[in-house]
Amino acid sequence: MAKGSIVAGVLAPHPPHLVYAENPPQNEPRAECGWEVLRWGYERCRANIKALKPDVLIVHSPHWPTFVGHHFLGLPRFQGLSVDPVFPHLFRYTYDVAIDVPLSLAIKERCDQAGMTTSVVKNPAFRLDYGSIISLHLINPLWDIPVVFISANQAAFYYSNEIGAQVAADLGHATRAAIEESGKRCVLLASCSLSHRHFVNEPEIPEDMSYERIHHHGQYLWDMKVLEMMRRGQTRELLDIMPEFIEMATSEVKAGCLTWMLEAMGVPDYPAEVHAYGTVIGTGNAVVEWNPMRSGRTH
């Protein structure tokens, strides 16, 4: 069996607004338009990912928060209705998701071997988190590739950003080892925004783009600083300043998804492709792809 590999990693933010504006059949609310820059960026990224023909998509989202270790899905199929508790008027999505259980359990096993605490979901009534569903929909709206969900350990929230980063790095290494052993070609999705301070109000028409802007200038400066580092392949430096970025820009990367992905990918030193940057209700969001093939690297 050939050694498995990570064929791409994507910073894949999950504002429900992007699915809402797209009007897919799975989502009940209807929109006129909205957030096109981000959605078109996702379309470009989606085409690149499709061309890679991955076996599995692996997503890590802050909206599956777990307090005791990392959790994995242990059933082959989950069906249900996902309603965003914060934006229920925008996201009420019917899902039917195929899980790659062997790979899910293999990553769990690697985590166990590394001394991490894990748990497996075996209750079919378990509702999948809306963050993961949104990122997965935006990368693969046909849902024709099996997926693995990984929960976000909340260590950073209870101890420090530095401890959270170490936990996420350990998870990344375990993920990489399991993928290599599996022989599968995988795409990783870090499901999070960059800066993450929201406005607490919303226009009458949620997709009225005349209201859309960054929450404040400091957030924008931090987002640009971080994106520039990605564009230059400076992910080691980015990991170094991640705790400060989290603190200064209220960043959603606090949940560990970006650190997990970069560490799993061996901290790539080649330029990432920034497909789009845009704000959603004041937060900073970027669709960014690390693709070793397109960058001339074989991973």
Partner 1 sequence: MHQSLISKAFIVSGMPHILLAHEQAPGWGRLYQAFQKAREEIEREQADLILYFSTQWLSILGYTFQADPRPEWEHVDQNWHELGSIPYEFAIDTDFAQNYADEVAQLGYKTRLINYRGFPIDTGTIVAQNLLNPHNRLKAAIVSCNMYSEKEETTRIGQAAARALKQSGKKAIAVLVSSLSHRYHVEAIKPRDDRISSRKDDEWNRKILDMLAMGDVEDVAQCTREFARQANGDMKFKGAWWLNGLLGQSNHFQGEVLAYEAVMGTGAVVVGLTPTEPVLAPDLASMMTSSEEGSQAELVDELTDFENQAMSKALKPSARGAEHHAPVSLSPPSATGALPDFEIVSQRGAEPVGLYPHARRYGDLLLLSGIGPRRAGSKDIPGVTFAPDGSVLHYDIREQTRSVIDNVRKVLEDAGSSLEKVLDIQVFLTNMKQDFAAYNEVYNATFKDIRPTRTTVQVGALPTPIAVEFKVLARP
CB 244, min distance to partner 1, A:
20
List the one residue out of 163, 101, 91 whose CA is nearest residue 133: 91
Burial of 115 (0-12, 13-18, 19+ CB in 10 A): exposed
Write out the binding residues for partner 1, residues 245-264 only, by CB under 8 A: none
Please identify, using beta-carbon distances, which residue of 26 and 66 lies nearer to partner 1. Answer: 66
Binding pattern for the stretch 184-223 against partner 1, x by CB under 8 A and - elsewhere? --------------x-xxx---------------------
CB 28, min distance to partner 1, A:
9
CB 74, min distance to partner 1, A:
10
| Contact in structure between 151 and 260 (CB atoms under 8 Å) | no
Q: Counting contacts by CB under 8 A, is residue 123 touching partner 1?
A: yes
Q: Which of 23, 24, 51, 81 binds partner 1 (CB under 8 A)?
A: 81
CB 55, min distance to partner 1, A:
27
CB 68, min distance to partner 1, A:
6
Please identify, using beta-carbon distances, which residue of 154 and 279 lies nearer to partner 1. Answer: 154
CB 92, min distance to partner 1, A:
6
Write out the binding residues for partner 1, residues 83-122 only, by CB under 8 A: 83, 85-89, 92, 117, 119, 121-122
* Residue 182: count of CB within 10 angstroms of its CB: 20
Tell me the site size for partner 1, rule CB under 8 A.
35
Q: Which of 18, 57, 155, 287 binds partner 1 (CB under 8 A)?
A: 155
Please identify, using beta-carbon distances, which residue of 40 and 126 lies nearer to partner 1. Answer: 126
Task: Single out the segment in contact with partner 1 by CB under 8 A; choices: 17-25, 58-66, 95-103, 135-143.
Answer: 58-66
Please identify, using beta-carbon distances, which residue of 26 and 234 lies nearer to partner 1. Answer: 26
| Contact in structure between 294 and 271 (CB atoms under 8 Å) | no
Pairing of strands 273-280, 283-290: antiparallel
Q: Which of 40, 126, 211, 270 binds partner 1 (CB under 8 A)?
A: 126
Q: How far apart are CA 138 and CA 12, in angstroms?
A: 8
Applying CB under 8 A, which residues contact partner 1? 64-69, 71, 81, 83, 85-89, 92, 117, 119, 121-123, 125-127, 129, 151, 153-155, 158-159, 198, 200-202, 281
